Amino acid sequence: MIYSRIAGTGSFLPGDPVTNDDLVERGIPTSDQWIVERTGIRSRHLAPDGMNCSDLAFEASRRAIESAGVAPADIDLIIVATSTPDFIFPSSAALLQSKLGIRNAGAAFDVQAVCSGFAYALSIADKFIRSGSHQRALVVGAEVFSRILDWKDRGTCVLFGDGAGAVVVEAAEEPGILASAIHADGTYNPILCVPGTVAGGAVIGDPFLRMDGQAVFKFAVRVLGEVAQEVLDAAQLTTGDVEWLIPHQANIRILQATAKRLSIGMDRVITTVDQHGNTSAASIPLALDLAVRDGRIQRGNHVLLEGVGGGFTWGGVLLRY
């Protein structure tokens, strides 16, 4: 029987932190108190002009590959979860492959599931490896959400940041990824979307992120609780067996409500939303890498990852690190 395990982690945040007060100085009609009370966010990172999704992905991937103790040439599958790719095509995964100098990867492609993207991508990589078709996958969440924000809309622009996180997943004799589940319901698409596109060289519709915050909150808390229980049941474990919960870092209130619903104390929840804001598909691997490197997550720990995002999509992965 072939299983998969996470062999290494890495992350990257561009530039210096941009605080809430920095946003006020830029003319956004808000305040540090207003943002912190409603979201828990104190700062975020914003990619400079010319730095794109694949650039962030490259830095996080380089660190994950080093952490795994392998060479880029050992990677035979690259999956990049992103909603903000460099181009319409080629994929950011293909650009990342080139930047890493990998010439013979078995496959390289992007996954677009917004904030659930990393859970989707990790689930896909697990299945590829367990099938025996691939031996070692690079799974990345990378976003430059600052490029799709309306900086006049304080209800959304203060929430998001840029960054990337990556993991190397490899074939193993013992199970590392214990269970995963991914879902979608497109009927909820209006409550979180970017309702625009490019056609004939012009923007058609609205090119900025739009969100119904209250509707997203209610939906997110419900499905995050459900998918967490789904993967725990599949692995025949309980929340008491989970050392660490890493939810998508959208809003501190969502994290708190999800932890309460699962009867998991906040002391067992990895939280980075205060430092990074919502980095969409990058938020889970960013938090995972931070907790691995600071020593909180140890080998053998049970870690529950879960995300929910526009689409609407949601997913969870339970792993033994």
Count of other CB atoms within 10 angstroms of residue 147 = 15
Q: Parallel, antiparallel, or unpaired: how do β-strands 136-144 and 244-247 relate?
A: unpaired
Beta strand ranges found along the chain (DSSP E): 3-12, 18-19, 43-44, 77-81, 108-111, 136-144, 162-172, 177-184, 192-193, 196-199, 202-205, 210-211, 244-247, 302-309, 313-320
Q: Which of 157, 276, 278, 302 is catalytic?
A: 278
Q: What is the distance between the alpha carbons of residues 14 and 114, in angstroms, rounded to a whole number? A: 20
Residue 3 tokens read as: 């299983």
**What's the pTM?**
0.97
- Domain extents for the chain? 3-174, 178-320
Known active-site residue 278: yes
Q: pLDDT tens string for the chain (321 positions)?
A: 999 999 999 999 999 999 999 999 999 999 999 999 999 999 999 999 999 999 999 999 999 999 999 999 999 999 999 999 999 999 999 999 999 999 876 899 999 999 999 999 999 999 999 999 999 999 999 999 999 999 999 999 999 999 999 999 999 999 999 999 999 999 999 999 999 999 999 999 999 999 999 999 999 999 999 999 999 999 999 999 999 999 999 999 999 999 999 999 999 999 999 999 999 999 999 999 999 999 999 999 999 999 999 999 999 999 999
- The CATH classification of domain 3-174, taken from the options 3.40.50.10190, 3.20.20.70, 3.40.47.10, 3.30.70.260: 3.40.47.10
Q: What is the distance between the alpha carbons of residues 257 and 250, in angstroms, rounded to a whole number? A: 12
Among all chains, which residue has been given the structure tokens 């992007």? 110
Q: What angle do CA 88, 92, 95 make, to 5 degrees?
A: 115
Q: Which of 45, 248, 276, 302 is catalytic?
A: 248
* CB-based burial, 29-66: b 16+ in 10 Å, e otherwise: ebebeebeebbbbbbbbbbeeeebbbbbbbbbbbbbbe
pLDDT tens-digit map of 87-104:
999 999 999 999 999 987
Q: Do domains 3-174 and 178-320 have the same CATH topology?
A: yes
Beta bridge partners of 141: 81, 165
Q: Which of 45, 115, 157, 251 is catalytic?
A: 115
Known active-site residue 276: no
Indicate the burial class of 132 (C-beta count within 10 angstroms; 0-12, 13-18, 19 or more): exposed
- The residue type at 260: K
Known active-site residue 53: no
pLDDT tens-digit map of 161-187:
999 999 999 999 999 999 999 999 999
- The CATH classification of domain 178-320, taken from the options 3.40.47.10, 3.40.50.300, 3.30.365.10, 2.120.10.30: 3.40.47.10
